Amino acid sequence: MEQVDNKQVIFKGYIERAPMETDMEIKVNKVELKAPKGSGSILVENLYLSCDPYMRARMRNISSSYIPPFVPGQPIEGLGLAKVLDSDNPNFKPGDLVAGLTGWEEYSLIKKTETLRKILLDDQIPLSYHVGLLGMPGFTAYAGFYEVCSPKRGEFVFVSAASGAVGQLVGQLAKLHGCYVVGSAGSSQKVDLLKNKLGFDEAFNYNDEPNLDAALKRCFPQGIDIYFDNVGGEMLDAALLNMKDHGRIAVCGMVSLHSYYDPKGIHNLFTLVTKRITMKGFLQSDYLHLYPRFLDLVISNYKQGKIVYIEDMNEGLESAPSAFVGLFSGKNIGKQVVRVACE
Amino acid sequence: MEQVDNKQVIFKGYIERAPMETDMEIKVNKVELKAPKGSGSILVENLYLSCDPYMRARMRNISSSYIPPFVPGQPIEGLGLAKVLDSDNPNFKPGDLVAGLTGWEEYSLIKKTETLRKILLDDQIPLSYHVGLLGMPGFTAYAGFYEVCSPKRGEFVFVSAASGAVGQLVGQLAKLHGCYVVGSAGSSQKVDLLKNKLGFDEAFNYNDEPNLDAALKRCFPQGIDIYFDNVGGEMLDAALLNMKDHGRIAVCGMVSLHSYYDPKGIHNLFTLVTKRITMKGFLQSDYLHLYPRFLDLVISNYKQGKIVYIEDMNEGLESAPSAFVGLFSGKNIGKQVVRVACE
């Protein structure tokens, strides 16, 4: 049987710190472009791979109900967009496009096909958006904003990591909902995008702010109704001081932290009591029944030009480790994607 | 007009630390036992005064929507049970018993009568319970448990400061609701009360536990569904590590903290995301429409012997400063009340 080269990004071993490129290595193995008979699997060619902050959790050797750790020596697993080359599964046929969990490699044999969604080609929608705007990050924004934040028209919304894969859609959904929206990001270029491309009412570069509390007081003189928290840490502590009574904080991720344990700690939780704040962590996977409604809303608004989406596209599987590592220093501008092969 | 001596506990000035007895002083002034004509006020004799941790917030010179600061040079203001001696208000007449905001003094002229509830004598219910079991602390337990914690039969409930004014009722309500309940307290005597008088399934003395995480893992091998947090600080951090998926934390107070700012910080908030925890601060005053329902439930259960209530009764107004200060070192066993005069 003919075998072809299959470049892979291998996970080397567990870490407790922020990821580095040396935690991964590029290897080449041989693969048959066949789904074995009786396996129920499909063999795909990966086109786009998604770099997401949650993946850091899988680089730790902690088994939890949240997500299983990666397997050392095996390719990184992540969300991607792939084309079916061969199928032993009646639900898929060669030529199908699928989005879901795949491997960081050129070709993957996917046994667990339950996570895959079939994608229909649409000239108006870039294929890569199925791992971003229309994928897990976009749905995280949708579920978090509508289901966790209980937004009301006219409310004051703050989004951190606002130009990121999730934040940029949170801000735009909040604007469509009639809210006043301010975003924080880590560079003047990102702040410019927030204000001039993504339609935020205001934005600030947290690296330029010696005092985050003062920055938030300047942007929200009347206080914050909703904080969509993508970063945790000092920004969360400052936001707690600026919430309005009955404010809501959706805790989506804590990309500022390099481990589950926050060494500096959060010091202003007493405001939860005095201001009757609700702080709620969430995972998009609890809301999957809303996925069709999400797709309808976002696709319709995107096609009307009311939603835009910024991607940071790296070229080639070899660039995946540096693209992933860059997430944790804010190197990416917009949703970080890696193009593995052309469509 | 005849004047009588009126002993008072005067608030001396603002502090940022835990209260000390020297922050208050006993003075005697003269008062007419009359409600001035046209004032709409009532003149009361104070019978019982309630010592509550929230009062520390009023000793800080921070104006917030939460609660106004005390006025230096004036008597401490707090919840109490009093008898009307004279009334210029058609809603009250001499001999009426009232519960609500009054002064830490023998006689008070109350102008703001809106906070007062009229109390009917009931042989089966000690009058002092109207500032405890049937007052603000009891209602805090009721509103927090039923409205914030969304309890379900069979769930695992943890209560800190469990023998205190609020905690002891939370635990008993949770037992009546069919939950498994564990309490923490600061002495073996309190642990004994929790297990043998208040009906908790299990209890531990946090001073005997070198590792709070380990203590909670021992008491809740399957994890905690509901944490009713009266203390904040390290216990909250340990509870975060032991919550079950979709757990709820009602943040009622943070008596372990000596200021709004928590110097050690909370380090385990990442679990909010991975376990989808909801953490909600609340004030009982947002739920006052439920007060009649609360009274029905608690009075009925109390009269059937299904709810008990432990009070720590200090005798005499002079003992009020030390009784209040003792709250913050856990000196009190049960709800701290000061008897100013006999009924």
pLDDT in tens, B193-210: 999 999 999 999 999 999
DSSP state of A148: I
What residue ranges in A186-310 does DSSP mark as E strands? 202-205, 224-229, 243-251, 278-281
Q: Does B262 touch chain A (CB under 8 A)?
A: yes
Q: Which amino acid is at A207?
A: N
Q: What is the ipTM for the molecules in this complex? A: 0.93
Q: How far apart are CA A190 and CA B168, in angstroms?
A: 52
Q: Is residue B293 pLDDT above 70, yes or no? A: yes
Mutate to test the interface with B, among A66, A229, A272 (most CBs of B within 10 A): A272
Are the CB atoms for B225 and B155 separated by under 8 Å? yes
DSSP letter string, B243-302: EEEEEEEEE---TT-SSSS-SS-B--TTHHHHTT-EEEE--GGGGGGGHHHHHHHHHHHH
Closest approach of A186 to chain B, Cα-based (Å): 22
DSSP state of A242: T
Is the model more confident about A337 or about B64? A337
> What residue ranges of chain A have pLDDT lower than 70?
1, 64-65, 255-259
Question: Could you read off the pLDDT of B72-112 as tens digits, one per residue?
Answer: 999 999 999 999 999 999 999 999 999 999 999 999 999 99
pLDDT at residue B1, as a whole number: 66
Report, in angstroms and rounded to the nearest whole number, the Rg of chain B calculated over CA atoms: 20
Q: How far apart are CA B142 and CA B300, in angstroms?
A: 14
Q: Which amino acid is at B17?
A: R
Chain-centroid distance of CA A263 in Å reads 24
Give the dihedral sign, CA A331/A335/A341/A342. negative
Helices A212-219 and A233-240: crossing angle in degrees, nearest 10, is 50
Q: Is residue B237 pLDDT above 90, yes or no? A: yes
A-chain residues near B257 (CB < 8 A)? 270
Q: How far apart are CA A189 and CA B132, in angstroms?
A: 58
Q: Does B60 touch chain A (CB under 8 A)?
A: no
* Six token digits for residue B321: 């400063």
The mean pLDDT value of chain B amounts to 95
Mutate to test the interface with B, among A270, A271, A284, A287 (most CBs of B within 10 A): A270
Q: How far apart are CA B44 and CA B50, in angstroms?
A: 16
Report which of B294, B234, B243 is spatially closest to residue B271, judged by C-alpha positions: B243
What pTM, to 2 d.p., does this model score?
0.95
Q: How far apart are CA A242 and CA A214, in angstroms?
A: 9
* Six token digits for residue B243: 């919550």
pLDDT at residue A62, as a whole number: 79
Q: Name, in order, each residue with C-beta under 8 angstroms of A14's C-beta and a sequence gap of 6 or more.
A: A59, A60, A61, A69, A72
Closest approach of A279 to chain B, Cα-based (Å): 5
pLDDT at residue A257, as a whole number: 67
- What mean pLDDT comes out for the span B153-181? 98
Q: Is residue B258 pLDDT above 70, yes or no? A: no
Report which of A96, A94, A100, A77 is spatially closest to residue A24, judged by C-alpha positions: A77
Question: Could you read off the pLDDT of B294-327 as tens digits, one per residue?
Answer: 999 999 999 999 999 999 999 999 999 999 999 9
Are the CB atoms for B78 and B51 separated by under 8 Å? yes
Q: Is residue B342 pLDDT above 90, yes or no? A: no
Backbone angles phi, psi at B197, to 5 degrees: -120, -35
**Cβ contact A273–B283 (<8 Å):** yes
Closest approach of B37 to chain A, Cα-based (Å): 38
Q: How far apart are CA A74 and CA A48, in angstroms?
A: 19
- What mean pLDDT comes out for the span B148-154? 98
Closest approach of B64 to chain A, Cα-based (Å): 9
Q: How far apart are CA A133 and CA A130, in angstroms?
A: 6
Chain-centroid distance of CA B86 in Å reads 29
Q: How far apart are CA A107 and CA B2, in angstroms?
A: 98
Q: Is residue B64 pLDDT above 90, yes or no? A: no
A-chain residues near B140 (CB < 8 A)? none
Beta-carbon contacts below 8 Å between A and B: 120
**Cβ contact A57–B253 (<8 Å):** no
Q: Is residue B15 pLDDT above 80, yes or no? A: yes
Give the dihedral sign, CA A69/A75/A78/A82. negative
Closest approach of A244 to chain B, Cα-based (Å): 10
Length of chain A: 343
Q: Does B31 touch chain A (CB under 8 A)?
A: no
Are the CB atoms for A62 and A109 separated by under 8 Å? no
A-chain residues near B253 (CB < 8 A)? 273
Are the CB atoms for A137 and A161 separated by under 8 Å? no
Question: Could you read off the pLDDT of B261-270 as tens digits, one per residue?
Answer: 888 999 999 9
Give the dihedral sign, CA B125/B127/B128/B130. positive
State what percent of residues in chain B have pLDDT above 90.
Answer: 92
pLDDT at residue B260, as a whole number: 75
**Cβ contact A272–B280 (<8 Å):** yes
Are the CB atoms for B148 and B250 separated by under 8 Å? yes
Q: How far apart are CA A199 and CA A216, in angstroms?
A: 19
Q: How far apart are CA B106 and CA B314, in angstroms?
A: 15
Q: Compute CA distances A234 → A265, A273, A331, whole Å.
A: 8, 19, 20
pLDDT at residue B67, as a whole number: 82
B-chain residues near A286 (CB < 8 A)? 276
